[in-house]
Chain A
Amino acid sequence: NAGVTQTPKFQVLKTGQSMTLQCAQDMNHNSMYWYRQDPGMGLRLIYYSASEGTTDKGEVPNGYNVSRLNKREFSLRLESAAPSQTSVYFCASSEFYSNQPQHFGDGTRLSIL
């Protein structure tokens, strides 16, 4: 039972480069989320998709774009990476966008030089 799978696990980019972080869940969940986690801070929501076909901005969307490719997959794109985007990125899913826990992947550790 894979749960939430994120790729890649590690990535180093140069300032200005672009990349896409991939996320897939196999739990038939309707809602998916992208967070970033920085030292000493709580998870901060970048974007979310409450259901297939919809995406909405979270707390820190600037510099990012997302695509809900289908019910299983939700990708996060950095168009022009900046050092401030160095972070650990987590994808999560939940059955519905409501009062219920989220299931997380193991993260992508991204460094931007």
Chain B
Amino acid sequence: GESVGLHLPTLSVQEGDNSIINCAYSNSASDYFIWYKQESGKGPQFIIDIRSNMDKRQGQRVTVLLNKTVKHLSLQIAATQPGDSAVYFCAEIGGGFKTIFGAGTRLFVKA
């Protein structure tokens, strides 16, 4: 499939290890945040979201942490699997419901 994001930061992890992907967001007034996963040749797929009144939210094998003080968002993937290899990007939604997407991080999982 076609590659998107040819010059993205890259994270390489061993299968079974935990992955942490970071995102710095821009607008201190943003009050809703989303992580998406994008596989090669596919559209972005929703993973998990968090609202600004929370600092942590857990899903199946994924956890999102929000630090509003430093405008930082992270996605933790437990027991990373080869199927987790993709580009991950965060999105923030602020006033007027405008969504700002980050450029993303490419995750490689080594078997």
> How many Å lie between the Cα of A88 and that of B46 in the bound state?
19
B97 touches A42 (CB 8 A): no
Could you say which residues of chain B place their CB within 8 Å of the CB of A90? 43-44
How close is A18's CB to chain B, nearest CB, in angstroms?
23
By size class, the interface of chain A is 20 to 34
Query: B103 within 8 Å of A by Cβ?
Result: yes
A97 at the interface (CB under 8 A from B): yes
**Pairs of residues from A and B, 7 with the lowest C-beta to C-beta distance, nearest first:** A104-B43, A42-B101, A99-B32, A40-B7, A101-B46, A43-B101, A39-B6
Q: Is the CB of A99 within 8 A of B45?
A: no
| CB contact under 8 A between A99 and B7, given known A40-B103, A42-B101 | no
B41 and A106 contacting across the interface, CB-CB below 8 Å: yes
Of residues 34 to 65 in A, which have CB atoms within 8 Å of B's CB atoms? Answer: 37, 39-45
> Which chain B residues border A100 with CB–CB below 8 Å?
32
Q: Mark B89-101, 1 if CB is under 8 A from A, else 0.
A: 1000100011111
Interface string of B42-53 (1 = CB under 8 A from A): 111110010100
Query: Across the two chains, which residue of chain A brings its CB closest to B100?
Result: A42
**Complex contacts, A101 vs chain B, CB 8 Å:** 34, 36, 46, 49
Report yes or no: A40 in contact with B8, Cβ–Cβ below 8 A: yes
* Docked-complex contact A105 and B43, CB < 8 angstroms: yes
Taking the closest CB of chain A, its distance from the CB of B36, in whole angstroms, is 8
A99 touches B31 (CB 8 A): yes
